[in-house]
Amino acid sequence: INVGVIHNKDDYWEVPNKFNPDRWMDENFEPKKNSFIMFGEGLRLCPGRKLAMIELVCLMALLFRKYEINL
């Protein structure tokens, strides 16, 4: 799977070559299936994906322990 092509394809994203973090903030936005591949796929699968997920869980635990978060 060529992730670079998928992440820059007009079929999946509106103006894919423009940096637009606001596209994720729209409540009605739903990305098309298989349009965002975070850690790659197949032979090029990221070897650090499990470590990254563990670090994310640890970071969340530290944030919830240190700060009072109200929803």
Predicted local distance difference test score (pLDDT) of residue 12: 75
Number of structural domains, the chain?
2
What residue numbers bound the domain in which 71 lies?
46-71
Residues 50 and 32 placed together within one structural domain of the fold: no
Tell me which of 54 and 35 has the higher pLDDT.
54
| Dist CA 20 CA 14 (whole Å) | 10
The per-residue pLDDT for 19 is: 85
Q: How far apart are CA 63 and CA 71, in angstroms?
A: 14
pLDDT score of 1: 61
Task: Kindly state whether residues 31 and 11 are assigned to the same domain.
Answer: yes
> pLDDT tens, 32-46?
776 667 777 777 788
Torsion of CA 12, 18, 19, 24, to 10 degrees: -40
Q: DSSP alpha helices (H): ranges in the chain?
A: 3-7, 49-66
Same domain, 30 and 52: no
Segment 2-15 shows an average pLDDT of 75
58 has pLDDT over 80? yes
* 2 and 24, same domain (yes or no): yes
